[in-house]
Chain A
Amino acid sequence: MDAPLLTVRDFGKRYGGSDAVCGLSLDIARGELFGLIGPDGAGKSSFMKAVAGVLRFDAGRVQVFGTDIASDTGAESVKSRLGLMPQGLGQNLYGSLSVEENIDFFARLRMVPRDQAERRKHDLLAVTRLAPFAQRPMRQLSGGMKQKLGLACTLIHAPDLIILDEPTTGVDPVSRRDFWGILGDLMESEGLTALVSTAYLDEASRFTRLCLLHQGRALATGTPDEILARAPGAVVQCRVVPQLEAQQRLAPHFPHCEAMGQTLRLFVEGLDREAAGAAVRESLNGLDIETLDTMAPELEDVFLALLGGERAATLPPGQANTPSADEPDAILAQGLTRTFGEFVAVADVSFKVRPGEIFGLLGANGAGKTTAIKMLTGILPPSGGSGSVAGADMRHAGALIKSRIGYMSQAFSLYLDLTVRENIRLYAGLYGLGRQDGDERMRWIIGMAGLAGHEDELAASLPMGLRQRLALGCALVHRPRVLFLDEPTSGVDPLGRRVFWDILFSLSRVDGVAMLVTTHFMSEAEHCDRLALMFAGRIVADASPQELKRQVVAEAGELYQVTTADARGLGKALAASGFPGASPCGRDLRLLSRDGAALAAAVSAHEAGARVETRPIGMEDVFVHLVSRLEAEHGGAA
């Protein structure tokens, strides 16, 4: 192995009195796609900026290309061989400049000779498929296109090492997969090394090596397989009736147990698949087990196991409250349509949500999710169709709807310069609660959200997980029967996310609150009882997550992972022999295929040593498959 391209020892960065990153050590070799994974505030950005020489750091040694960058001169000397793409969708690009002008600016800034710059611009526009939009102003691009342009600009001077800070955050799954594919191609053809951060744990398997970062410290570093080996165990997924009782019974024995829609998912530490299945069956003795599958654990399970897995809030005891069949639907949409001039934002959308049901609305940016939500919450009158929310007609009872629903979006709901108590009191006042009622709800919210002891802290000083639970409490202050959640857990660490979903689960099952969740976080989608996928203003699929997975497997086959030494060559060879759509995943390839034997034959024809294995299909595979098929049917949108 060559000398490492990047060597970091005991890196530390402090802001004011608190450590952002502490004691981080890692090496990155030439050609690696190294991932830095962690929630918001884990210290990813600080570390990456320091490595790029744009942020001073306080402790440790950082060597880039063998040069120590402790001094400004040292940092300056490596910048010509580095590329940095900072965080934020297209934030570092220039909105009023066209795609081409953006690339030209970076080329001139980096002193790329003119003819060489033209050649590279041409190639990069071709690879990123941005050539048809070369004259379009940057600000009119979609999120995914902005990120691809950002990548092209970062690569214009042919750097040896690129540092990409959360390039896929806020980008829909299809564009995300597209981005990873392009990055893989470019790394291969240019001999690049990349340091990439992400907040999505499900992207971890795409890296050749990775580091799990939590509160500024490295939890584990290694290849995905090495990290998986750190916490041996098995995942058990079962469907048991009644679900709530099953969970209450399992939770004391298995700390990593959570409800995913109608099923329960457990990570059983230390046992193999068979033993884990048996142990779970034993605990559930006497209940009706409809299905029980076991599978290999995923990185998120390992991450939680490494964190110690202590739960901040335990499940509140409660009786399952099955809504009776004659109770009216919590949300009913019938042929909802909304047009803006010529543009049809939402077309003929129909669905219903039962009391106590968690309903997920998925879709890429611009698919019509936001417009649909605005109509359902009484903000925007529909141009056609009808519907009711919490018993109020949405065509003329906008104000009534608003008083009966709760709405939570991480971005807007809290006043950060008020304390926990003041925030709750403010919301109680806004919804017209009396003093006594308000105090009672205050106690309920503080208990529910696990905020005891934080009552007089400013919302701004709370950790993300607590802040988000406070926002949930404020949305629930007036006891709404219907709750709207807009990407509720983005930016929250896996532990906080799990606690949050425990609360939502209990709210739905015990209190019978209906929920509508919009997200393009695939791990959130898995928690829903039912999912609707929106595409171009229409609902194109509406079923439970398991059902959707079954549909995709029936349509496109099982998910296969091919372990290979030459992912790029093999991908091309497979596409030529009738297996298109392989996406890179670390050093491996993943693809859907209906004929496993033929795939194995095609793989071994190209490369004798390659292995083919089946993998459980994920929600992201489902989403990407459905949307790609629809895009192909609609004449291939960009």
Chain B
Amino acid sequence: MKLQRVSAIAAREWREIVRDRLFFALAFIVPALLMLLFGYGLSLDVENIPFTVVDYDRSALSRDYSWQFIGSRYFKFQGYSDSESEAGRKLTSGQVRMTLVIPERFGHDLEAPGRAAVQTVIDGTFPSRAMTTRGYVEAINADFSRERLARLPVLSGMKGVVLQSRYLYNQNVSSIRSLAPKLIMVVLMLSPPFLTALGIVREKENGSIFNIYSSDISRGEFLLGKLAPYVAISTFNILTLWCFACLLYQVPFKGDFAFFLLASWIYVLCTTGIGLLVSVLVSTQVAAMIVTLVVTMIPSILYSGLIIPIASLGSGARVVAHIVPAMYYADIVVGCFLKGIGPGALWRQLLVLTAYALILFSLGYALFSKRPRT
């Protein structure tokens, strides 16, 4: 192993990255941009649902009932509608996502010993949002009913069970808190393999790889020199993304920073290794981009616990999740940020990632040939 050759390759690679606008952007700007776009675009919180009310009753009680919704932070009132068909039009045009229909005699029925009925129509195009909306409607409706019951003198002595729930690790159940750390996982899964695969395949495509093939540099020296700048850039990006999570998205960091850094670095080695493996298997930059996109984007978003918890995946999908490194690093990064746990609880995941990196690099090294068949 001659250090001079390794540094010659690394220095040249570095110069090319910083002088090539596309590569520079890919290395330093795209990761930050992805973090921003995903962060603002992927919010799973359902708030400010636009809604309208068709009040056929127009009594004090019906107004009171409506106000329960109008005053809630989960809903955003878009004015009354005169008829169900008008409300239907608003629903179709997307102006509102929920309508409440209060029938005639609502106030009357409520005062009488019978029961009053209210209809709600919810836009069901996005099932999870619709379910959440229904949950909110039911909760507000239940609150209203309980208050009314409590006012009845007969029941004033009765006490129901009041459920007090507290969410651990993420008190407000705000989705960005759990998302932001996992976004670090996604971005570090996408950016290093892209850079690495394009960097190596570019040389294959334009023929400068023959400078390497035809010289007496060893495979190891070349790969070390070639990959070092990419690992360095990704290491810098770990810090950038960490800052984004802490400062912009205000996610508290409760864990051990040194452990987080070490684990992230090993994860970056893993994903760089994926890029290396892609680059030895394909020979054009277009192919490299497509293959990298497929093998990184889908697993990191669907099989990592980013949106759907691993436990809720089907059994086949769960197997996939276990063979992709994203899930293990997601455990680590969520543990470090939200749970404040460290190597004591996460050493298994770290071990898997290390093994992963070793296997990918060994494969890449074995398959890289200075004397290919074609």
Binding site for B on A (CB under 8 A): 15, 49, 52-56, 72, 75-76, 79-80, 82-84, 86-88, 91-94, 96-97, 101, 105-106, 108-111, 153
The 9 closest A-B pairs by CB, nearest first: A108-B8, A54-B213, A84-B214, A96-B19, A91-B207, A86-B210, A79-B216, A80-B216, A92-B208
Among the listed stretches B9-17, B85-93, B132-140, which one makes contact with chain A, having 4 or more residues with CB under 8 Å of it? B9-17
Query: What B residues does A105 contact at CB under 8 A?
Result: 8, 11-12
Contact assessment for B214 and A91 in the assembled complex, using a CB-CB cutoff below 8 Å: no
Is B371 an interface residue, CB under 8 A from the partner? Answer: yes
- Minimum CB–CB distance from A99 to chain B (whole Å) comes to 14
Contact assessment for A55 and B372 in the assembled complex, using a CB-CB cutoff below 8 Å: yes
**A109-B217, A111-B2 given; A96·B207 CB < 8 A:** no
Contact assessment for A97 and B15 in the assembled complex, using a CB-CB cutoff below 8 Å: yes
- Minimum CB–CB distance from A154 to chain B (whole Å) comes to 9
- Minimum CB–CB distance from B371 to chain A (whole Å) comes to 6
**A75-B371, A108-B4, A109-B9 given; A84·B208 CB < 8 A:** no
Is B115 an interface residue, CB under 8 A from the partner? Answer: no
State in angstroms the CA–CA spacing of A63 and B60 once bound together: 103
Contact assessment for B374 and A15 in the assembled complex, using a CB-CB cutoff below 8 Å: yes
Is B211 an interface residue, CB under 8 A from the partner? Answer: yes
Is B147 an interface residue, CB under 8 A from the partner? Answer: no
Question: In this complex, what residue of B is CB-closest to A91?
Answer: B207
State in angstroms the CA–CA spacing of A82 and B15 once bound together: 27
Contact assessment for B16 and A96 in the assembled complex, using a CB-CB cutoff below 8 Å: yes
State in angstroms the CA–CA spacing of A87 and B210 once bound together: 10
Query: What A residues does B216 contact at CB under 8 A?
Result: 76, 79-80, 110
**A94-B12, A94-B16, A109-B5 given; A84·B371 CB < 8 A:** no
Query: What B residues does A76 contact at CB under 8 A?
Result: 216, 370
- Minimum CB–CB distance from B1 to chain A (whole Å) comes to 12
- Minimum CB–CB distance from B4 to chain A (whole Å) comes to 6
Query: What B residues does A106 contact at CB under 8 A?
Result: 211
Size band of the interface chain B makes with A: 20 to 34
Binding site for A on B (CB under 8 A): 2, 4-5, 7-9, 11-12, 15-16, 19-20, 206-208, 210-217, 370-374
Question: In this complex, what residue of A is CB-closest to B9?
Answer: A109
Contact assessment for B372 and A92 in the assembled complex, using a CB-CB cutoff below 8 Å: no
State in angstroms the CA–CA spacing of A109 and B7 once bound together: 9
Partner of B373, one of A56, A82, A92: A56
Contact assessment for B210 and A108 in the assembled complex, using a CB-CB cutoff below 8 Å: no
State in angstroms the CA–CA spacing of A615 and B215 once bound together: 42
**A82-B214, A92-B206, A96-B20 given; A56·B12 CB < 8 A:** no
Query: What A residues does B215 contact at CB under 8 A?
Result: 79-80, 109-110
Query: What B residues does A79 contact at CB under 8 A?
Result: 214-216
- Minimum CB–CB distance from A79 to chain B (whole Å) comes to 4
State in angstroms the CA–CA spacing of A72 and B374 once bound together: 15
Contact assessment for B214 and A54 in the assembled complex, using a CB-CB cutoff below 8 Å: yes
Query: What B residues does A86 contact at CB under 8 A?
Result: 207, 210
A-B contact pairs, 8 of them (CB 8 A): A52-B210, A53-B371, A54-B214, A55-B373, A86-B207, A97-B15, A106-B211, A111-B2
Contact assessment for B211 and A92 in the assembled complex, using a CB-CB cutoff below 8 Å: yes
State in angstroms the CA–CA spacing of A54 and B369 once bound together: 9
Query: What B residues does A80 contact at CB under 8 A?
Result: 215-216
Question: In this complex, what residue of B is CB-closest to A75?
Answer: B371
Partner of A94, one of B4, B7, B208, B372: B208
State in angstroms the CA–CA spacing of A83 and B211 once bound together: 9
State in angstroms the CA–CA spacing of A27 and B281 once bound together: 36
Question: In this complex, what residue of B is CB-closest to A110?
Answer: B215
Contact assessment for A56 and B211 in the assembled complex, using a CB-CB cutoff below 8 Å: no
Query: What B residues does A49 contact at CB under 8 A?
Result: 210
Question: In this complex, what residue of A is CB-closest to B214?
Answer: A84
- Minimum CB–CB distance from A311 to chain B (whole Å) comes to 35
Query: What A residues does B211 contact at CB under 8 A?
Result: 92, 106, 109, 153
Partner of A92, one of B9, B19, B210: B210
Query: What B residues does A153 contact at CB under 8 A?
Result: 211
- Most chain A CB inside 10 Å of its own CB: which residue of B16, B211, B217: B211
Query: What B residues does A91 contact at CB under 8 A?
Result: 206-208
Contact assessment for B370 and A54 in the assembled complex, using a CB-CB cutoff below 8 Å: yes
- Minimum CB–CB distance from B357 to chain A (whole Å) comes to 26
State in angstroms the CA–CA spacing of A56 and B373 once bound together: 5
Query: What A residues does B19 contact at CB under 8 A?
Result: 96-97
**A87-B207, A88-B207, A111-B5 given; A56·B214 CB < 8 A:** no
**A92-B208, A94-B208, A109-B5 given; A72·B371 CB < 8 A:** yes
- Minimum CB–CB distance from B243 to chain A (whole Å) comes to 30
State in angstroms the CA–CA spacing of A82 and B216 once bound together: 9
Question: In this complex, what residue of A is CB-closest to B23?
Answer: A96
- Minimum CB–CB distance from A606 to chain B (whole Å) comes to 40
- Minimum CB–CB distance from A116 to chain B (whole Å) comes to 14
- Minimum CB–CB distance from A452 to chain B (whole Å) comes to 33
